[in-house]
């Protein structure tokens, strides 16, 4: 059997990783400033994470949601406390798309409505509901194309009253658009969404899959706007590589047996991974570090010629180049041995471990300066 060929691949196989460093099979060392799409939050193979996962695997790796899994309770308590949402409820999933899928479903169950408002350049995942609210027709199959979704221009306040109505079940928005090119949702925009949702009863979902979990310097990037969504969705950095996602659900939304469900979501190993991540985020003050390193990077990047704009918050950074991003990304990887991401045709995307230090930032800044001069 052959693999279903949907991913263009770099000819690199990684065999070892530690912190922000990864090593290929041929011995080449790389600096990882992308974390496999924002997944590596506390650093690769963090010793606390490895110890906890190993211990858990020796005890019990999996059982389904038909028995008590105390790691889930521990995670709900810790996540509520660290994120600043202790009164919210937690539903555990396996991925970002699945988290959004469940949040949309819950909004629809709660309101009895079908319509959803999403935004231009949004990316919410590839499963049926998540892809329907994603603004990219090329990945929407005919079966996922629904008339229930309206797209409104991101960050535009004008027209929100017309598009969000008493028929709207949910408004879904990223606090910082990732795939859309690191576009930060403005405070007036997020506050206007909150107000309009309150007026109409629509449920406000903040997709925090990429911008959450401390990456912005706050646990959730919408906390800069001082709003409280009805639901937040998470995944990526939550398990530092072990698949786990979650929906944080406001107290007014009530659970009932059978309303949502999953076989794998919240299993023993997944909860151990997520609990270890939250331990390290707190112990190593990674949100503070994300702010410090992010501010430093953004300040220094602003002075490099060949850069049109620097966007983002904390360690979620978009560098809009004057030239196409492809050759720059390739040179960073092949000549300077640095993994970065991209978004669109001109934006380089940095999503490093929240534990990165200034020496790493300086190595990147020097390499990028040389690349843009070449």
Ligand X SMILES: Cc1ncc(COP(=O)(O)O)c(C=O)c1O
Applying CB under 6 A, which residues contact ligand X?
Answer: 37, 95-97, 100, 123-125, 174, 178-179, 207, 209-210, 235
Where would I find the H helices in 204-323?
268-283, 286-301
Cβ closer to ligand X: 96 or 217?
A: 96
Return all residues near 263 (Cβ < 8 A) that are at least 6 apart: 64, 65
Cβ closer to ligand X: 101 or 230?
A: 101
For 326, the token pair is: 């492809």
Strands (E), 176-286: 176-177, 183-184, 203-207, 231-234, 245-249
Cβ closer to ligand X: 125 or 314?
A: 125
**3-class DSSP assignment, residue 245:** strand
Give me the least distance between CB of 95 and ligand X, in Å please: 4
Select the residue whose beta carbon is closest to ligand X and give its number.
96
Give me the least distance between CB of 235 and ligand X, in Å please: 5
Give me the least distance between CB of 149 and ligand X, in Å please: 15
Cβ closer to ligand X: 82 or 232?
A: 232
Cβ closer to ligand X: 43 or 178?
A: 178
- DSSP annotation of 237 reads G
Give me the least distance between CB of 285 and ligand X, in Å please: 25
For 238, the token pair is: 């939550």
Helix axes 286-301, 268-283, angle to 10 degrees: 70
Give me the least distance between CB of 126 and ligand X, in Å please: 7
Cβ closer to ligand X: 95 or 223?
A: 95
Looking only at the bridges linking them, the beta strands covering 341-343 and 347-350 are antiparallel
**3-class DSSP assignment, residue 358:** helix
Return d(Cα 170, Cα 193) in angstroms, integer: 11
Residue with tokens 């430093």: 296
For 275, the token pair is: 């609990």
Give me the least distance between CB of 138 and ligand X, in Å please: 16
């Amino acid at each position: 059997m052959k693999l279903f060929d949907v991913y263009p691949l770099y000819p690199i196989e990684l065999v070892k990783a530690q912190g922000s460093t990864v090593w290929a099979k041929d011995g080449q060392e790389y600096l990882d400033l992308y974390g496999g799409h924002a997944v590596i939050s506390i650093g690769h193979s963090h010793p606390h994470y490895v110890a906890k996962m190993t211990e858990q695997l020796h005890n019990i790796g999996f059982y389904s949601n038909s028995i008590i899994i105390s790691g889930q309770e521990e995670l709900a308590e810790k996540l509520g406390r660290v994120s600043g949402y202790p009164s919210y409820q937690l539903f555990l999933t396996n991925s970002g798309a699945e988290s959004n899928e469940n949040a949309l479903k819950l909004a629809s169950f709660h309101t009895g409505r079908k319509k959803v408002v999403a935004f231009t350049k949004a990316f919410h995942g590839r499963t049926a509901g998540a892809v329907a609210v994603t603004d990219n027709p090329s990945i929407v199959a005919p079966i996922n194309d629904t008339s229930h979704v309206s797209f409104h221009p991101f960050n535009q306040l004008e027209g929100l009253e017309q598009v969000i109505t008493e028929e709207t079940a949910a408004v879904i928005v990223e606090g910082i658009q990732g795939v859309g090119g690191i576009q930060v949702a403005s405070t007036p925009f997020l506050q206007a969404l909150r107000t309009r949702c309150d007026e109409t009863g629509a449920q406000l979902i903040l997709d925090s899959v990429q911008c959450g979990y401390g990456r912005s310097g706050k646990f959730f990037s919408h906390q800069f706007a001082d709003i409280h969504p009805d639901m937040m969705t998470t995944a990526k950095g939550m398990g530092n590589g072990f698949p786990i996602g979650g929906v944080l659900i406001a107290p007014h939304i009530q659970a009932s047996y059978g309303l949502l469900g999953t076989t794998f979501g919240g299993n023993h190993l997944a909860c151990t991974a997520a609990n270890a991540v939250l331990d390290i985020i707190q112990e190593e003050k990674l949100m503070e570090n994300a702010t410090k390193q992010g501010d430093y990077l953004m300040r220094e990047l602003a002075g490099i010629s060949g850069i049109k704009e620097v966007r983002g918050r904390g360690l979620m950074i978009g560098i809009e180049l004057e030239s196409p991003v492809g050759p720059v990304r390739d040179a960073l990887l092949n000549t300077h041995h640095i993994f970065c991401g991209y978004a669109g045709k001109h934006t380089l995307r940095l999503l490093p471990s929240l534990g990165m230090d200034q020496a790493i930032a300086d190595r990147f800044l020097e390499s990028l300066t040389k690349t843009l001069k070449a």
